Structures are given as structure tokens and as C-alpha cells.
Copies of this chain bind each other. A is one copy, B any other.
Amino acid sequence: MTFDIAIKNGMCYVNEKFLECNIGINENRIEYIGKDEIHADIVVNAEKCFVLPGFFNAHTHSAMTLLRGYAEGLPLKKWLEKIWSIEARMKPKDVYYGAKLACVEMLKSGITCFADMYIHMDEVAKAVKETGIRAVLGYGMADRGSKERAKKELEIGLKFIRDWNNIERIKCMLTPHAPYTCSPEFLMEINEFSKSLNVVKHIHVAETKWEVEEIKRRYGKTPVELLDDIGFLDDKTVIAHAVWLNDQEIDILARRGVSVAHCPASNLKLASGIARVAEMVERGVNVCIGTDSAASNNTLNMLFEIRIASLLQLLRGKNVNTLKMATENGYKAYKLKGGKLKEGYLADLIVIRRSESYYPMYSPENSIVYASKGCEVLHVFVDGKLVVENGEVLNVDESKVLERVEEVARKLVESKS
């Protein structure tokens, strides 16, 4: 059997178990997984390494790498005020460099696809195109109760979808910011477009206790109840955070097929809380994992995120499979046939080396989840193409990006003072 690419002799994560396999890739799909000898133009020797589906970063704002470390030690509401004052001055070129750094950082940490909502999204799309990563992108919309603003926001969001949906490795989505910044009428309009255009909706929900109280005050119900009442919740909906949910709300999410993008580090950093992930999983909600932005994390590293996600549930006396959440569940949430080492699936996969902290090894899952130093990712394939080799991003001059990011960030912050 001959393939475009063969990844040989790795310990491969197949059906939630690690098995020694060879993997054959043709074009952008996995076409073979098994023990047979295979041939290819490009052969990667994965001996002594682990082969996993790539990580899916299910919630981020990539260009906010520019504001990494800019607003520290603040709870969400105060943090947002400080961040928003800078964002108001962000130019398209700024977003381009911020997103480009994010793509580099994500690829190096094994993230093969990310879901992003922000401003100047054409620039994020360009960064995705150039770096070789995959992404699901949406323009972050908020009407704040103004019909005029709703119209403008929706125009930008829809134009972005027309321009970029299904271009290269990009899928587009509709991304209203949150129930407290978007009116129910606006959300209902977005919902109709989501159906007619067949695109995913992604929104922040129940991130803070304040939000839940505020929505109750305004509408007499919780954010999840509100969204359900207006028909917003379905299996093409991904809600980010979901920290403050009661059992009834979790049941609603499960019943509607809504996915949750859990952001553990950001929820700690902004003092939002610890999400009831285990309960969501028990009740059948598809939970995936996001880093949120680098401004509230401060890295975009899924090896860190799965570790902290697991530790936080253990603190609660619960045990969840964060490796599955960070791979399969992310692709599933955003309707992409990826996140599994399986024939016919997208060839988005990573090769991980054994660092000294993976010794001894009683189970590879536990080593990867609990004992990663955060920099074990060796090679990354996206869409059947090698984009990271021996820890180095191939399509980008990384040092140039880093230089430009510092310039851009300095100017942004200086213009403020």
C-alpha cells in the first residue's frame, strides 16, 4: 500500500486507547490505520513517540495575544473595561500580527484547529491561510440593544461568511458576543441566518455569576433558559464557559445537543469559577476545551489546558476524559470530520515525544494529561500537510512575527496613554 504520507511505528490514540500502528495519509484524509507495512513519498518515523489527533482549541480570540499580560489580576468585568479600551483602537494590521503569533503558538503546542471570534476577521483568516492551521472563524457581534448597531454588526458578520466560508481550511460561523451584550431580537435574527446558511453559532454564556444575575434581572430567567426560550439552542450551537449552570440548565443543553467550550485557565484567571464539567459529561453534553484568549490565560497550549481541566475536576472529586474533550469533542462541536485517528477522517494529527516526565509510564493517557511539561509536540500535520517539524513551524518566519508583534503591541498600548 502506498500513500502520500506514512507515519510509522508510533503509539497511536485509536478509540481512546494507545496501540502501535502505521498511519497512511492521502491528500487531506487518513486512509489507513493498522499494523501492515505501508509505503509513502514522505515517511515519518514515530518510534517511541505518540500519535494523536490534533487538539481543537474550541474557544479563543487569537489576536488578543497582543494583550497577553496587559491586564493582570483583574476580575472579568474590570478586565473587559481595560481590554475594550485598547481594542477600540486596534487596526486590521494589528489583528493580523496578533493572530499570526497565536497560530504559531497554537501549532507548536499541537493545536490543529481553533474556533475564533473577534474583530477584523479578514486578517485572522489571512493568518490562518498563511500558517497552515485550520480554523472556524466568526466576527464577534454585539448590538447592545441598538437596532442600527445590530444591522451593521450583522452585515459585517455575514460579509465575512460570504468571503471566507470554505476557503482553504476555514469554516465560518455566526458569533454573537453574549446574552448581556446582544438583545434577544438580535440573537433570534442571527439564529435564522445560522439555519439558512447552515453555519455554527458560538456565544459566551454563563461565564460569571454577575452575568447570570444580570440576565435574571433583565428577563426573569437564566441565560440558558433565555436562549432556549427564543429557540437559539440546537446542535449547531457552541456556548463558551458555562461556569454557572444548574442541573436543569445542563439538561436543557443535553436535550438540545448544544456543545460547551470549557475554558478552565481563563475561568480561574478572571475569578469566574470552576465549571461543572463532570456533571455536563454525565448528562450527555458534548464538552470541548478552549484556551480563551492569551489575555486571560496567558498561553494557547492545550497540554496545559487539559492538565488544569483534569486537576480542577479531581478537586471536585470527579474524573473526566480531557484528552477526548480536547480532540474529538472539539471537532464534533464544530461539525468537522476530524479529531480521531480513523479512516476517512481529516489528517489533522500530531506526534508527541516522551520527555523525562513521561517516565515511568503506567498509561500514556495519564502521562500526556498529567505529566506533560507543555512542550512535547514534535510534528504537526494539518489537512494532510506537515506544518510543524521537530518543534519548528514551517510556513512562517517565527522570529519576524515575534518582532512585529512587540512593535505592534507597544504602539497600541502607547497610543492609549
Contacts and interface: CB of A to CB of B under 8 A. Distances in A.
A353 B368 CA distance: 24
Interface in A57-116: 65-66, 68-70, 72-73, 75, 101, 104-105, 108-109
Contacts of A362: 68-70, 409, 413
A108 to B, nearest CB: 7
Given A72-B366, A315-B274, A373-B374, A299 B268 contact: no
Given A66-B360, A75-B317, A360-B408, 16 more contacts: A68-B360, A69-B367, A70-B362, A105-B356, A268-B311, A269-B370, A271-B316, A271-B317, A298-B357, A298-B367, A298-B370, A304-B304, A359-B405, A359-B406, A361-B406, A362-B409
Interface in A290-327: 294, 297-301, 304, 307-308, 311-312, 314-317, 319
A375 interface: yes
Contacts of A374: 304, 372-375
A363 interface: yes
Of A267, A298, A410, the most chain B CB neighbours within 10 A belong to: A298
A317 B299 CA distance: 21
A371 B315 contact: no
A227 interface: no
A363 B71 CA distance: 11
Given A105-B357, A299-B371, A314 B73 contact: yes
A370 B109 contact: no
Contacts of A274: 315
Interface string A400-417: 001001101110010000
A78 to B, nearest CB: 11
A314 B271 contact: yes
A347 interface: no
A344 interface: no
Given A271-B317, A308-B308, A405-B359, A68 B373 contact: no
A273 interface: yes
B315 A273 contact: yes
Nearest to A412: B360
Contacts of A406: 359-361
Contacts of A299: 357, 370-373
A177 to B, nearest CB: 23
Interface centre among A75, A311, A312 (most CB of B within 10 A): A311
B371 A373 contact: no
Interface string A353-391: 000110111110011001111110000000000000000
Contacts of A72: 363, 366, 370
